Amino acid sequence: AAPAPAQRSAAAPVAPAGSYARLHTLADLAAQRLATADLVAAAKYGTDSPVDDPAREQQVLDDVARQARELGADPAATVRIFRDQIEANKVVQRALHRRWDADPSQAPTPEERPDLAEVREEINRVNEELVRGIADSPSARAAVSCRGLVTLGALHVRHERQLDLPHTVALERALRSVCAG
């Protein structure tokens, strides 16, 4: 006789088709956002601008919450995921500042210093894509398989983008609360 269909609990939904692709996209966008940390670190190095800028963080969180609402997505989940993106960005910035303090020959020169306002425009562009990725993935993020698929996605992104150790560690930090619940 055919086995009885497995009972599926509502609290542990099964991932719908396409979940891996959506979560891989989130991991890739998180890595794209982390790539901007190198530019931010260079923009701030040797200046009075500290790595932590709480006013800018609040602006980012307010913007993404508004964008999430406009898309009919969950603003609280979006803000939670973005808090992690910001913490991860600081992990990379601090690692680079430590590296440049230890070996000034690797540090960007003042002439090479990127403009922070321009870097933030690039961050804003990635933020918008990431908000859309979050809005497009509620079932994938709520599924029991989410954690495993996010880990797999991050592993692929690490290889696709040839991430170094600080960016790999930061990517893990960035993806900490992607899975809902």
Residues at the contact surface with ligand PRE, assessed by CB under 6 A: 40, 52-53, 56-57, 60, 85-86, 89-90, 120, 123
Nearer to ligand PRE, 60 or 154 (CB): 60
What minimum distance in Å lies between the beta carbon of 138 and ligand PRE?
Answer: 23
Nearer to ligand PRE, 107 or 140 (CB): 107
Distance CA 174, CA 37 (A): 12
Please answer whether residues 51 and 94 qualify as being in contact, where contact means their C-beta atoms are separated by less than 8 angstroms. Answer: yes
Please answer whether residues 171 and 159 qualify as being in contact, where contact means their C-beta atoms are separated by less than 8 angstroms. Answer: no
Nearer to ligand PRE, 94 or 158 (CB): 94
Helix boundaries (H) for the chain: 19-44, 54-70, 75-102, 116-135, 138-142, 146-160, 165-174
What minimum distance in Å lies between the beta carbon of 56 and ligand PRE?
Answer: 4
Upper half-sphere CA count for residue 11 (Cβ side, 13 Å): 1
What minimum distance in Å lies between the beta carbon of 49 and ligand PRE?
Answer: 7
Distance CA 72, CA 131 (A): 11
What minimum distance in Å lies between the beta carbon of 50 and ligand PRE?
Answer: 8
What minimum distance in Å lies between the beta carbon of 116 and ligand PRE?
Answer: 6
What minimum distance in Å lies between the beta carbon of 97 and ligand PRE?
Answer: 11
Nearer to ligand PRE, 61 or 135 (CB): 61
Nearer to ligand PRE, 30 or 150 (CB): 30
Angle, vertex CA 154, rays to CA 71 and CA 146, nearest 5: 60
| Conformational region of residue 173, where left means phi above 0, alpha means psi within -120 to 50, and beta covers everything else | alpha
Distance CA 123, CA 121 (A): 5
Nearer to ligand PRE, 142 or 167 (CB): 167
